[in-house]
């Protein structure tokens, strides 16, 4: 006797795998991520640089504040609230990128954003921080001396008791946001779009340089070199965690060190 099939019996037992996104969808995804994060920062940096060039003062007579107060000095709790607000929501693009990776069948491990190799990550991070940090300091000092860069004030906070904690968190935020989005995510997506390794690394480095342009020509060039080195490292080892560690270390030293050194060392420009 023939068996009667019910409609439910003819349905597949497992859902079909989602089709890979089209090139157009990938470009739209990348565009949205950058428009919500460091692409927008690059546009703002370009506008700021034009404003600095057209200002009455020379670049060397202006100051670029990296971490600025958000309220009057006599209202420290309001300032702290704004600082924490900015820090928390600055991680939103990172959360978006991790979600998009998961949705496409990848994950944070696809770009090496995990804790599987702490020794490797911290060791290489320290080496990269030393090399890039010292090289960047030389470029900064020379470019300010030549008048093509603004003196940088890494911290313009008002010396409140929470200043150092906020500066460290800002440094970690910079490391996570920039390396996850501009290196790990962007290079992975450009690879999916068929870009060569060299072209993708150059684009990533150029984007990094552009959103630092508000500081001046010197730091544009310095960050371009940093981007090329970091991009090469990521292509070689497939991990962004050493880059996150290196970037965070560089910024911790710059932010916290500036509190004690600017104004005490004659050869270190700043306000």
DSSP for 48-103, please give it: HHHHHHTSSS-GGGS-EEEE--SS-TT-HHHHHHHHHHHHHHHTHHHHHHHHHHHH
Which residue did the predictor score with more confidence, 263 or 132? 132
50: left (phi > 0), else alpha (psi -120 to 50), else beta? alpha
Would you say residue 263 has pLDDT above 80? no
CA distances from 120 to 93, 108, 139 (A): 26, 17, 28
Which residue did the predictor score with more confidence, 4 or 29? 29
Q: What is the pLDDT of residues 40-89, one digit of tens each?
A: 999 999 999 999 999 999 988 899 988 999 999 899 999 999 999 999 99
To 10 degrees, what angle do helices 217-237 and 118-145 make? 160
Closest CA to 180 of 239, 267, 137, 228: 239
Residue 219 domain-assigned (yes or no): yes
Q: Which domain holds residue 202?
A: 24-104+115-261
CB of 223 closer than 8 Å to CB of 174: no
Would you say residue 8 has pLDDT above 60? no
Would you say residue 11 has pLDDT above 80? no
pLDDT of amino acid 172: 98
pLDDT of amino acid 258: 86
CB of 207 closer than 8 Å to CB of 37: no
Residue 18 domain-assigned (yes or no): no
Most confident stretch, 65-69, 207-211, 256-260: 207-211
Residue 17 domain-assigned (yes or no): no
Q: Which residues contact 58 (CB under 8 A, 6 or more apart)?
A: 147
Average pLDDT over residues 15-21: 59
Residue 161 burial class via C-beta count within 10 angstroms: exposed 0-12, middle 13-18, buried 19 and up: exposed
pLDDT of amino acid 158: 78
Token code pair at residue 116: 């599987």
Residue 13 domain-assigned (yes or no): no
Residue 53 domain-assigned (yes or no): yes
As a whole-number percent, the residues of the chain with pLDDT over 70 amount to 92
Residue 50 domain-assigned (yes or no): yes
Residue 126 domain-assigned (yes or no): yes
CA distances from 125 to 142, 188, 224, 247 (A): 25, 21, 18, 8
Closest CA to 227 of 249, 251, 211, 214: 211
Residue 268 domain-assigned (yes or no): no
Number of compact structural domains in the chain: 1
- Which DSSP helix (H) or strand (E) runs through 153? strand 152-155
């Amino acid at each position: 006797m023939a068996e009667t099939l019910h409609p439910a019996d003819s349905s597949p037992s497992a859902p079909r795998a989602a089709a890979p996104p089209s090139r157009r969808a990938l470009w739209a995804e990348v565009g949205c991520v950058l428009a919500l994060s460091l692409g927008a920062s690059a546009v703002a940096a370009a506008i700021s640089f034009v404003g600095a060039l057209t200002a009455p003062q020379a670049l060397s007579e202006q100051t670029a504040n990296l971490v600025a107060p958000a309220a009057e000095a006599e209202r420290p709790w309001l300032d702290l609230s704004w600082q924490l607000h900015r820090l928390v929501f600055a991680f939103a693009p990172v959360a978006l990128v991790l979600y998009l990776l998961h949705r496409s069948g990848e994950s944070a491990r696809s770009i090496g954003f995990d804790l599987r190799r702490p020794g490797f990550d911290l060791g290489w991070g320290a080496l990269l921080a030393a090399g890039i940090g010292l090289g960047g300091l030389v470029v900064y000092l020379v470019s300010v001396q030549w008048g093509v860069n603004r003196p940088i004030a890494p911290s313009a906070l008002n010396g409140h008791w929470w200043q150092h904690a906020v500066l460290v968190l800002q440094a970690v935020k910079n490391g996570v946001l920039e390396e996850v989005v501009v290196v790990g995510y962007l290079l992975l997506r450009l690879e999916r779009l068929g870009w060569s390794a060299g072209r993708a690394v150059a684009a990533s480095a150029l984007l990094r340089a552009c959103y630092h342009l508000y500081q001046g020509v010197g730091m544009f060039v310095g960050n371009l070199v940093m981007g090329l080195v970091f991009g090469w490292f990521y292509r070689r080892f497939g991990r962004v965690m050493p880059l996150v560690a290196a970037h965070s270390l560089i910024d911790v030293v710059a932010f916290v060190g500036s509190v004690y050194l600017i104004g005490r060392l004659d050869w270190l420009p700043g306000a």
